[in-house]
Every structure is written in C-alpha cells, then in structure tokens.
Amino acid sequence: MTFALLPILDTMIDLYQKPRTYERFQEFLFSLQGDTQGDLVLPIMGFNPMAKEHILEKLYELKALEIEPIMDQTLSELNKKLKSEHTDQNFKVAFNLLDDLKGSWTNRFISDYDNKFKIGGLINRNFCTPLFWASEDYSIEKIKIRTLESAYRALYWQTKRNPTTLKEHVEQEKFIGKEVGFNKHIADGEYMQLEEFYKKNQHQDNFNLIFNFFYGNEASKSLAFASFGLNSKATGHDYCYK
C-alpha cells in the first residue's frame, strides 16, 4: 500500500479568487464530479464552493505554511514504514478545508464523524481526505498528524470496514490513536465513567448513542440528538486516544 499527495491547493485558490456566482458553483461541480453527475473525480467535497473571502485567506495561510509539501513528506515517510506490507492499493491524499466559521451547510461534528466512520465511497475510489477547519490555527505538527490519521484509517479499512457497533467504532479509533501516537490526558474519574458507558453499550448500534459517546452532550444537543447520561467533559475520542 502506498499513499501519494493529490495537489489541490492551487486549484482551490484559483476557484475562490473568482466571484461568488453560479458559474463558480458549476466550475466546482465539474472539478468534483467531471462529466458524470454523482461521480467523484477530485475529492474536494468538504469545501464550500460559495465560501466567502476568509476561506481564500486561510488557503493562502496554508500555502505559506507549505501544507502540501509537508503532507507529501509525511506520506513519503509513511510509505517507507509500511513497505507495501498490506496491499498493493495506492491512495491519493487531498486535504479538505471546511468552513466551520461562516458556512451554514457545514456541521463540524457530523463532518468529522463522516470523515472518520463513513469513508467507504472514498476508499473505493482510493482517496483519503484529511480535514482542516477554517477556525483552527495550524502548525507543521498538526498537518502531519491530520495526514497520518487519514492514511491510517484507509489502512484500517482494508480489513475492517463500515463500523456499526460502538465497539467497532472504538476499536478503529484506538488503532488510529496507537499508530499516530496520541496520548490524551483525562481525569481518572472521567475515564472510568466513559469506560463504564462503553462496557455497558459496546454492542449497541444506535447512531445517536455512538455519536453522543464520541462528541459529548453539547454536540448532541446542538443537533437535537438524544443524550444518554454521559456527564463527562471528556469524550469518546479522549477515551480511545488515552
């Protein structure tokens, strides 16, 4: 298995330099799906084609930080580590910048969930899409981590796809945490509450319950999803990455 950068930064800068018109939207759609409606030829679906100027400014910021050369180097190092020991599948990796500041059609929690646990369409087309957010500040280290997360999820999905139960979701993210080297520090009391919840509900396939575990009560309430008694400030991500 190998991973290679799919450069999209200059394409998106060129798009956002144009007026926010119907023509820009149509150009985005053609870049996304080509001549076939519903297809995916360039994995830029996280971008908002009608985003305002702050997204262009963030893209310039990421260009100055050399996001794509950093991603390219990170993937090259990962390829040397993997040495094609898993499969001969080759993935193209393109970052997506999501507008969680002024983009009304982007919900950060749902977008994050989908990018972690509903990636079958991307995997089938040999794409990986590390997510970046308009509201965040970035560093070389953060770019490397996001790139590795996405690549390791693609690797995991070679043998274990479409997590359904809470247990399957947690197993995936524990694998990611181990491979990327996450080390979250959470209070023992919060960890124990999450552990008790997990053991009680690990075989549940209720989406609202799984979402609540990973993103917490405030995220669930913001989407009018049910909550399930978790009072910890820590979330399922902290639990998996401890």
Global pTM value: 0.93
Distance CA 99, CA 34 (A): 23
59-102: per-residue pLDDT in tens? 999 999 999 999 999 999 999 999 755 567 799 999 999 999 98
**Contact assessment for residue 63 and residue 13, using Cβ atoms and an 8 Å cutoff:** yes
Distance CA 101, CA 48 (A): 11
Instruction: Answer whether residue 1 shows pLDDT above 70.
Output: yes
Give the ranges where the chain is alpha helix by DSSP (H): 9-16, 22-33, 53-64, 67-82, 108-117, 120-124, 140-156, 166-180, 188-201, 207-222, 236-241
129-144: per-residue pLDDT in tens? 999 999 999 999 999 9
Kind plus residue range of the DSSP H or E element containing 44: none
Residue 185 confidence class, pLDDT cut points 50, 70, 90: confident
Closest to 97 in 3D by CA, of 37, 156, 141, 52: 52
Instruction: Answer whether residue 168 shows pLDDT above 90.
Output: yes
Strand partners, 128: 93
